[in-house]
Structure 1
Amino acid sequence: MTSLAEAVDAVADEHGFSGVVSVDRGGRAEFAKAYGPAHRAYAIPNTVDTRFAIASGAKALTALAVVSLIEDGVLSLGTTARSLLRDDLPLIDDRVTVEQLLAHRSGIGDYLDEDDPDLDLDDYLLPVPMQQLATPEQYLTVLDGHAAKFPPGERFSYCNSGYVVLALLAERASGVGYHELVRSRVCAPAGMRDTEFLRSDELPDRTAVGYVPAGDGRWRSNVFHLPVRGVGDGGAYTTVADMSAFWRALFAGRIVPPRWVTEMVRPREDVPGERLRAGLGFFLHQTRDQVMLIGQDAGVSFMSVHDPASALTYTVIGNTSAGAWPVLRPLRERFSG
């Protein structure tokens, strides 16, 4: 029988994977290996402690920051977006609530609509210069002008705008900046020392640059594709070790109380077109009690899966748009069925 290391190595070699693969149980590593370059121009290789962007994987950080504010009485699930948006974003229905935004059931128009079959994440999609997007308030011009897709609460529709709105509501309700909310309420209690919303134009050492194919075997960095600093819907950087710490802290009740963890990872409905179920800020396996975070964007591919019963965590982070998905196959076959 092929070992896990052999299976992962074979797929990584076949597809030219660039990133890190990690498997652990209760924080004890069973497999961890880095592949490919963190920086192509300077031939700097990825290592197991390289930081990578995780795109929409950061939605869980937003959800937890919001839920911690709910626990403190600053917000509630029933708080309407309009109560804090006031005259901003007039096309958002006055009935939209925090709970609907968390559950992707708000129906608001999306500035990056992943239901669009023509969407190409490797394209240049931002309608404003990327350097103008570094805080939730700066996103108002991008979020505005998108008509509602359906009435609030009618159905599930994955929505990036909804999580930017959540970041905006959290800031306005608490008086604390979004990035500080995530740092103090999620990363610090979880011991995630290497997780941060970094600016793409000033990446520090030990951080991978994201790459998109430019044809003829050439690669370009994703610096012109994404907001210069992520907010509520994505853009955090992390390591595989921090992801392991995150899952352990979450299910130990160190980020939000256990009753809230149970509510956030409770399967609420099936995700249309996917073999997934949805919670609040988290996805879940179709049939098993496994919780997961998924992210993909230009130069970013990420998935981290945790099984609370066995304390198993496996994570794949790549610094290309699709690199993680082939490498995930042998892990999912062995651990998720």
Structure 2
Amino acid sequence: MSSRVPLSVLDLAPVDRRSAPGRGARETLAASVELARAAERHGYRRVWYAEHHSMASIASSAPAVLVAHVAAHTSTIRLGAGGVMLPNHAPLTIAEQFGTLAAAHPGRIDLGLGRAPGSDGATSAALRRDPSAADTFPDDVLELQDLLAGTPRPDGVRAVPLALDDDGLPVPLYVLGSSLFGARLAAALGLPYAFASHFAPDALEQAMDLYRREFTPNGRPGALEAPHAIAAINVFAADDDATAREHALAARRQRAVALFGRSLRRGALPGGLDSADDAAFDAAADALLDAGASVHVEAMMRLAAVGTPDAVVAQLDAFAARVGADELITAHGAPTPQTRVRSVELVGSAVGSALAA
């Protein structure tokens, strides 16, 4: 059994609800370092971090800072944003941030770009985000592409510092998406495309087909000669099936609370959702699922590889073949830092053993 495509990792940087006040983010950053080290040891291609804001359960609000921290504690694995929500930022700011990262860690930095806000309306306003900023996303990507290539803007402004990799190329750009818009844009710009099928799987096959069909090499800096399509999938690998299924259930509970818990905390399910006691939390989360949240959660998480390492690798192989992915980005959703690292290690070891056989 062997994975036919490279595997990468999406680290969602979850904050443990049981952490002592003031310690959750610190513990999450340490856990992200350990996860990246495990991925590096076991041959994964890259680790990405996504931009989210005003979410107490996620510590990846500043992807560039998180990348810098993890890069300082690893040696070879590629690291990047998966992604930066570009409408929240001026392209020049992102070019400067990731140009600095590339100068500090040459040949190891990726930049994935999304057009969603990564937040709610109030948070978008607090970010000084223009409500129409998503409309200029294609132009902003082009501007960023030029800035990273060292091309000055018409007003003479350029991104400094800037570093090119060993092939003389700028920081690699990836267009992220969960709809046909991103697929069409990536194809038109000749850029790699990553689909967020770990939480929005419905348009995956259609988007991948469209991207490959419409892909056009254009000779712009960093553009590809051939399409490179990445699909994300949830992974729950453990030493036995029962444990893997327990981890998948824990992830569904967490997702139900994240999606629907806030509106019900003042209603019929007040106590357990905020409890540090596992039994109370699980009971409240199960009540949410039974009340209808399961329909939404199961739809979001239906693409998942669950089981022992060899079984998970077989599922990943089948998934990659079915959707025509050139690379998979695996979101390991086990409930603790230790079990997430274990999941990464188990899958990496299974792939490595198979390739050596």
Shorter-chain TM band: under 0.3
Higher strand proportion: 1
Q: Which has the larger radius of gyration?
A: 2
Higher helix proportion: 2
Higher relative contact order (CA 8 A, sep 6+): 1
**TM-score, scaled to structure 1:** 0.25
